[in-house]
Amino acid sequence: MSASSAFNDEKGGSSSVGEPEYGHDPASGGIFSSDYKRHDDLKEMLDSNKDSLKLEAMKRIVAMIARGKNASDLFPAVVKNVACKNIEVKKLVYVYLVRYAEEQQDLALLSISTFQRGLKDPNQLIRASALRVLSSIRVTIIVPIMMLAIKEAASDMSPYVRKTAAHAIPKLYSLDPEQKDQLIEVIEKLLADKTTLVAGSVVMAFEEVCPERIDLIHKNYRKLCNLLIDVEEWGQVVIINMLTRYARTQFLNPNINESLLEEGGGGDKTFYGSDEDEDEDDEEKEKKAEAAALAKRKPYVMDPDHRLLLRNTKPLLQSRNAAVVMAVAQLYFHLAPKAEVGVIAKALVRLLRSHSEVQYVVLQNVATMTIKRRGMFEPYLKSFYIRSTDPTQIKVLKLEVLTNLANETNISTILREFQTYIKSMDKDFVAATIQAIGRCATNIGEVRDTCLNGLVQLLSNRDELVVAESVVVIKKLLQMQPEKHSDIIKHMAKLTDNIQVPMARASILWLIGEYCEHVPKIAPDVLRKMAKSFTNEEDIVKLQIINLAAKLYLTNSKQTKLLTQYVLNLAKYDQNYDIRDRARFIRQLIVPTEKSGALSKYAKKLFLALKPAPVLESPFKDRDHFQLGSLSHLLNAKAGGYQELPDWPEAAPDPSVRNVEVPEWTKCSSREKRKEKKVEKPFYSDSEGESGPTESADSESDSASGSESRSGSEVSGSGSESEESEEGSESEEEEEEEEEKDKKKKKKELKNFFFFVSTIAPSSALKNYELLHRITGEGLSVEYCFSRQPFSPDANMVAVQMQFTNNATSDTKNLHMEDVKLQSGMRVKEFPEIELLSAGEMATAVMGIDFCDSTQAANFQLCTHTRKFFVSIQPPVGELMRPIFLTENEFKKEQGQLMGMNEITEKLTLDAKCRNEHAIVQRVTTAANLSRVPCGSDKEFAGRTVTSSSLVLVTVATKEEGAAQLTVNCEKMVIGTMLVKDILLALTQ
């Protein structure tokens, strides 16, 4: 530092004025005149004996290089220090050498011998670094030396040196392409390498030097697939991209049968949903020829090697590196059977959380994918919603994706979302949104009118750009069915007075001209106005005025003849030659003179021919002929060095080429071994994952040991840590867990069951009521419960299941019911007589009662062969209904219709034990025979009363600290009130 400050003094303030930002740094450029002097100073420092001075000098020189300042005149002084003992000086000298060797070839040769010595060093790292620098020096004379060094390094013991050799290959190739053949030999050798360290680098070399030599991969294919997960991330990207290409040449199209099926009548619709609609057409064309040949072929069987690739790349979707995820995603997109491609969607959506540049690239690729495989991204629709803080380019891409994803089912949500976008402050984005609406309207017929109406409303927007864009889009939409919309055309004709954007004016004029027959009164007037302002219009507007004039002349020459003449005369003297030409051309065509040829007869046909409606297409259509994720795909143009993604072969090449004689490679990677060891231990049971409560800073209770002893000591020597103390408690815990797990499992099963048989099955335990106590019944006891099963003989009846137990010592005979007393309207279906109930036995019977949706009791006599008992069954209100299945939307809709008098709301504080969702659901469903609305945001339940089928809707909205609100909507107010009471009771106790 002392030296540098001295230098600063010497230099004075000379540099500080010109470039203040460099002022603090002594090595900055400064003024030219002082350069030589300063370099003398540096030379002196480099020549000195002190390492510290040399280091200081080198640091300043490197800083100069970093700033892009020229330091080449110091070459001789620097290169002398290449053999310096100080490792940092040496490194910096290397940096300098690599930068300037190309310019000072002769002097650079002085350093070569140092590196040659380094190549023989016993330390692998020194060998590697010597090779690295040597190969980076771009001096043609040393090509033979480099070649030799690379060949030697390729068979080095150390994988690190071999990796460096792989890196050196493309360097040498770019220096001297003549060496290709020799280099391919080295690549072939290194491809056979069995370490993960080398794999990525050598594939990179392969891609740069000889990507066409796909035959070199055969023998290494399986090895690469298996090593892949352990290769460093950058290598993974390169390998995956290369293997995608390889697979395209070696395996059969896994979707070939599906395309055949589709042609056979679209039989697979049910499997792949609606996403294949567009696909079908494309594929049909593409595959027709192929399919014909393959029609009688045996069913497609995936090559095991193809499967291996898919299987081994899948885990990499979880990589933290966006490039790796994208590489796997494109591999799946290009290679996987349709049914499996879906897995990549989730990972790609995840990348949307990343930096905006990553988003930009990912969205471009998603946009392409959504055209071919819409279904894949449909579940993630909302992830593409736009935030006002997104950069415009991201917004536009998201919009593109949303538009591609639009279909009949989700269009209403998407359009609602678009409505918010239209109000955005970002006008470019608003314009893009309007175009997107236009595209949705053309693609989905159902919403065309809605969209059109929406766009017409935009015509009165205050922002001119918005209006202009709407006009352009409306024009395209109207072309599809003009006859219906003459009033829109009229409306637009009025706009010509106000709107100034040329493109919009031109669009309106074209529209009026094209459909002048629909607006016969307005069209000539528009032409009159336009004729007036003709000279001040933009060129595209002028052209359309001429068009309009011509069309009107042909259809309505009486009114417009003079106007047309006038416009054509104006155009004749226009500055723009295009307009002058057009005017002449049109005059000849439409105005009949003696000289005019046969053409003018057909003028009407020429001008007013039926024009096909424009197809609004995604700009991402057909981009997938570029390999996804590639630069070429992003730019939609072939980049230099892009390797075309080959088409699938018609017949698979011989798969045996990939067979390797000695499949011993697995043993070479130590990491691989580690993994295998892991797999062998099936002990690591699931339960461990959810074990004891070891939260936060508990340095004392290290819980490592217990599980370790069970797992068969992965790492020796640490097994016997504090086992004794822990084991007891842990095993207990585990038991508990086990129990809990069982319970959970059952619950889960129940849930599943419930889901499938949702309307019928009771979701909670049934409550038993006593009908006859065994003392009053003299030994006969009867219990009943509401079984919540449909009563099959009569759907309007509630099924009551009765259980008879004979506790007496003698048999009971002829159990039946008599003398049923009911309120009007109620009905009972008696249970069949039980002829004999032996002592100590039990029997069950089911009866049905129609309670007429009231809680009136059904009274009757229960008779045995000796006695009669008066009994009554009074239903809790919750049993007067049966569950129905509603979706959340239906629920909300129904609820909306049952407001006012039909809605009862009660606030409550939940019982301490039932604050979680599960408990609430359980209690509500126990209290009333209702079913939970799946996926509802609140806890919502639905049912219908048994007799009158009135809807019963229950909502429990929970708030903090156990506060909750219960809402019951039911047409039958009495039932509603009673139900509120019952559920309230159930939830608060």
**Which residues 167-226 are close enough to bind another protein by CB under 8 A?**
167-168, 170-171, 174, 197, 201, 204
Selected from 460, 569, 670, 729, the binder of another protein by CB under 8 A is 670
* 934-963: contacts with another protein (CB under 8 A): 935, 937, 960-961
Query: What residues pair up with 821 in beta bridges, in sequence order?
Result: 859
Selected from 191, 199, 243, 322, the binder of another protein by CB under 8 A is 322
Nearer to another protein among residue 912 and residue 935 (C-beta): 935
CB 899 within 8 A of CB 954: no
Selected from 17, 87, 301, 912, the binder of another protein by CB under 8 A is 87
Nearer to another protein among residue 659 and residue 685 (C-beta): 685
CA distance 943 to 930: 5
Query: Long-range contact list for 297-302, CB < 8 A, 24+ apart?
Result: 299/257, 300/252, 300/254, 300/256, 300/257, 302/251, 302/254, 302/337
Selected from 34, 48, 65, 988, the binder of another protein by CB under 8 A is 65
Q: How far is the CB of 927 from another protein (least distance, A)?
A: 24
Dihedral pair phi/psi, residue 103, rounded to 5°: -80, -25
Question: Which position has the token pair 């629909």?
Answer: 518
Check residue 21 for interaction with another protein (CB under 8 A).
Answer: yes
Q: How far is the CB of 82 from another protein (least distance, A)?
A: 16
CA distances in angstroms from 145 to 123, 134, 139, 517, 750, listed in the order given: 21, 9, 11, 84, 75
Q: How far is the CB of 392 from another protein (least distance, A)?
A: 5
Check residue 387 for interaction with another protein (CB under 8 A).
Answer: yes
Q: How far is the CB of 642 from another protein (least distance, A)?
A: 4
702 three-state secondary structure? coil
To 10 degrees, what angle do helices 343-351 and 322-335 make?
150
> Which residues make Cβ contacts (< 8 Å) with residue 159, sequence separation at least 6?
193, 195, 197, 198
CB 560 within 8 A of CB 552: yes
Selected from 37, 120, 311, 382, the binder of another protein by CB under 8 A is 382
Q: How far is the CB of 183 from another protein (least distance, A)?
A: 14
Nearer to another protein among residue 123 and residue 535 (C-beta): 123
Check residue 392 for interaction with another protein (CB under 8 A).
Answer: yes
Alpha-helical segments (H) within 681-797 = 704-710, 723-756
CA distance 943 to 952: 5
The sign of the torsion formed by the CA atoms of 415, 416, 422, 426 equals: negative
Q: How far is the CB of 350 from another protein (least distance, A)?
A: 5
Per CB under 8 A, the segment of 40-48, 257-265, 311-319, 487-495 that binds another protein is 311-319
Dihedral pair phi/psi, residue 307, rounded to 5°: -60, -40
Check residue 678 for interaction with another protein (CB under 8 A).
Answer: yes
Check residue 629 for interaction with another protein (CB under 8 A).
Answer: yes
Selected from 318, 460, 535, 752, the binder of another protein by CB under 8 A is 318
CA distance 911 to 900: 28
Check residue 67 for interaction with another protein (CB under 8 A).
Answer: yes
CA neighbours closer than 13 Å in the CB half-sphere of residue 818:
11
Nearer to another protein among residue 581 and residue 714 (C-beta): 714
Alpha-helical segments (H) within 406-426 = 411-422
Selected from 189, 346, 774, 829, the binder of another protein by CB under 8 A is 346
Nearer to another protein among residue 39 and residue 829 (C-beta): 39
For residue 479 the two structure tokens come to 């072309």
Per CB under 8 A, the segment of 90-98, 370-378, 875-883, 942-950 that binds another protein is 90-98
For residue 291 the two structure tokens come to 């399919």
Torsion, Cα 81 84 87 90, to 10 degrees, reads: 20
Check residue 300 for interaction with another protein (CB under 8 A).
Answer: no
Nearer to another protein among residue 99 and residue 528 (C-beta): 99
Q: How far is the CB of 498 from another protein (least distance, A)?
A: 14
What is the size of the binding site for another protein (CB under 8 A)?
137
Nearer to another protein among residue 126 and residue 846 (C-beta): 126
Task: Please count the residues of the chain.
Answer: 989
* 438-467: contacts with another protein (CB under 8 A): 461-463
Nearer to another protein among residue 7 and residue 684 (C-beta): 684
Residue 746's closest CA among 767, 759, 731, 763? 763
* 422-441: contacts with another protein (CB under 8 A): 423-425
* 40-59: contacts with another protein (CB under 8 A): 50-52, 55, 59
Per CB under 8 A, the segment of 343-351, 754-762, 769-777, 946-954 that binds another protein is 343-351
Alpha-helical segments (H) within 663-722 = 670-679, 704-710
C-beta neighbour count of 82 within 10 angstroms: 20
Selected from 148, 293, 635, 974, the binder of another protein by CB under 8 A is 635
Q: How far is the CB of 708 from another protein (least distance, A)?
A: 6
Per CB under 8 A, the segment of 334-342, 670-678, 829-837, 850-858 that binds another protein is 670-678
Nearer to another protein among residue 318 and residue 752 (C-beta): 318
Selected from 35, 176, 233, 525, the binder of another protein by CB under 8 A is 233
676: left (phi over 0), alpha (psi -120 to 50) or beta: alpha
Selected from 136, 565, 709, 787, the binder of another protein by CB under 8 A is 136
What's the DSSP call for residue 24? T
Nearer to another protein among residue 326 and residue 884 (C-beta): 326
- The site string for another protein over 352-371 (x = CB under 8 A, - otherwise) reads -x-xxxx-xxx---------
* 681-740: contacts with another protein (CB under 8 A): 684-686, 688-700, 702-704, 707-708, 714-715, 717-718, 721
Nearer to another protein among residue 197 and residue 921 (C-beta): 197
41 three-state secondary structure? helix
* 755-784: contacts with another protein (CB under 8 A): none
Nearer to another protein among residue 91 and residue 604 (C-beta): 91
What's the DSSP call for residue 575? S
* 148-167: contacts with another protein (CB under 8 A): 158-160, 164, 167
Question: Which position has the token pair 């009165």?
Answer: 460
Burial class (CB in 10 A: 0-12, 13-18, 19+), 370: buried
Q: How far is the CB of 845 from another protein (least distance, A)?
A: 42
CA distance 39 to 169: 36
Per CB under 8 A, the segment of 117-125, 404-412, 907-915, 946-954 that binds another protein is 117-125
Q: Compute the chain's Rg from CA coordinates.
A: 42
883 three-state secondary structure? strand
Kindly give the pairing relationship between strand 842-850 and strand 903-909. unpaired
Check residue 479 for interaction with another protein (CB under 8 A).
Answer: no
Check residue 634 for interaction with another protein (CB under 8 A).
Answer: yes
CB 631 within 8 A of CB 233: no
Nearer to another protein among residue 127 and residue 923 (C-beta): 127
Nearer to another protein among residue 634 and residue 857 (C-beta): 634
CA distance 370 to 666: 39
* 873-902: contacts with another protein (CB under 8 A): none
CB 987 within 8 A of CB 910: yes
Kindly give the pairing relationship between strand 834-837 and strand 903-909. unpaired
For residue 575 the two structure tokens come to 């500055």
* 255-284: contacts with another protein (CB under 8 A): none
CA distance 496 to 455: 17
